[in-house]
A = this chain, B = another copy of it.
Amino acid sequence: MFTRQELIDYTRDAKEKWLNHISVDCVVFGFHEGQLKVLLLKMKDEQSWYLPGGFVLKDEHLDDSASRILNERTGLDQIFLQQFHVFGDPQRSRPHYEMYKDVADNENNWFSNRFITIGYYALVDFHNTVPAPDSLSEKCVWCGLDALPGFILDHKQILDNALYALRLQLNYQPIGYNLMPHEFTMPELQKLYETILDKKLDRRNFQRKILAFDILNRSEHPRKGGAHKAPYLYSFNLEKYQQALKEGLAAGW
């Protein structure tokens, strides 16, 4: 938590630097050991957890601000973020105001303003992504969706909404290029879909449908080792994958 003087300084700088009433929050998903994880921050001297978020510079493109904020707060760079929803309840940032109302008056408290937040989400390669907390944060860590902590403001709702957007996206855009190793088996890819959807899928239907999208390459060389029949290895066909990102999956109208 800020002290009174820190809050006053923060507010003075903020008014000069950022657009009022607008914030950005990022939901970053990674996939590790069959688990979907999300990147969370814990502020110093606070109990609640945050999504990595921040404010928009006066002359900055909104989409650029999302990348910058994520980088400043977590150390992550070159992340492809997508807008998914705007959260515009006039009471949504009220708890932040309440937290600081005895520390400084309205004039000297940036958090006394109403903030509409724009939600962005990303899917990242868990293994090549090492988060680092910023100076305001005590921790910046990956957290499994089955073991979420308490969140500040409406951040749990933002996370739920991002997950909903991700599940919808599965049906019209390819997913997985940033989440899977370069080569993978069909059951490994199915596990990713099952984890995101939080339900079991039929093995044969999954294979038929994903192959019909025509975005995978099959390796000539099955994976070695083990007593059973060696499984085929697949990788994403990057050209077709990127085309499907633009035009939708082949199963569309």
The answer to whether B86 touches A248 (Cβ under 8 A) is no
Determine whether A48 belongs to the interface, using a CB cutoff of 8 Å to chain B: no
Chain B residues with Cβ below 8 Å from A71 are none
Given A172-B171, A253-B193: A90 and B116 within 8 A (CB)?
Answer: no
Distance to closest chain B CB from A55 (angstroms): 11
Chain B residues with Cβ below 8 Å from A229 are none
The answer to whether B116 touches A88 (Cβ under 8 A) is no
Determine whether A132 belongs to the interface, using a CB cutoff of 8 Å to chain B: no
Copies in the complex: 2
Q: Which residue of B lies closest to A19 (CB)?
A: B21
Determine whether A20 belongs to the interface, using a CB cutoff of 8 Å to chain B: yes
Across the interface, A168 reaches (CB within 8 A) one of B22, B61, B63, B172, namely B172
Q: Which residue of B lies closest to A84 (CB)?
A: B83
The answer to whether B63 touches A253 (Cβ under 8 A) is no
Distance to closest chain B CB from A16 (angstroms): 15
Interface string of A166-195 (1 = CB under 8 A from B): 011011100000000000000000000100
Determine whether A158 belongs to the interface, using a CB cutoff of 8 Å to chain B: no
The answer to whether A114 touches B170 (Cβ under 8 A) is no
Chain A: interface residue count, which band? 35 or more
Q: Which residue of B lies closest to A18 (CB)?
A: B21
The answer to whether A61 touches B88 (Cβ under 8 A) is yes
The answer to whether A114 touches B19 (Cβ under 8 A) is yes
Determine whether A130 belongs to the interface, using a CB cutoff of 8 Å to chain B: no
Determine whether A107 belongs to the interface, using a CB cutoff of 8 Å to chain B: no
Chain B residues with Cβ below 8 Å from A170 are 252-253
CA of A172 to CA of B173, assembled, Å: 11
Chain B residues with Cβ below 8 Å from A197 are 253
Q: Which residue of B lies closest to A85 (CB)?
A: B83
Q: CB within 8 Å of B: which of A53-97?
A: 56, 58-63, 65, 83, 85-90
CA of A248 to CA of B170, assembled, Å: 11
Distance to closest chain B CB from A74 (angstroms): 21
Distance to closest chain B CB from A112 (angstroms): 13
Across the interface, A201 reaches (CB within 8 A) one of B65, B83, B253, namely B253
- 14 contacting pairs across A/B (C-beta < 8 A): A19-B114, A21-B22, A56-B88, A56-B116, A58-B90, A61-B90, A62-B86, A62-B89, A63-B88, A86-B86, A88-B118, A168-B172, A168-B248, A171-B252
Task: Report which A residues bind B (CB closer than 8 A).
Answer: 19-22, 56, 58-63, 65, 83, 85-90, 114, 116, 118, 167-168, 170-172, 193, 197, 201, 209, 248-249, 251-253
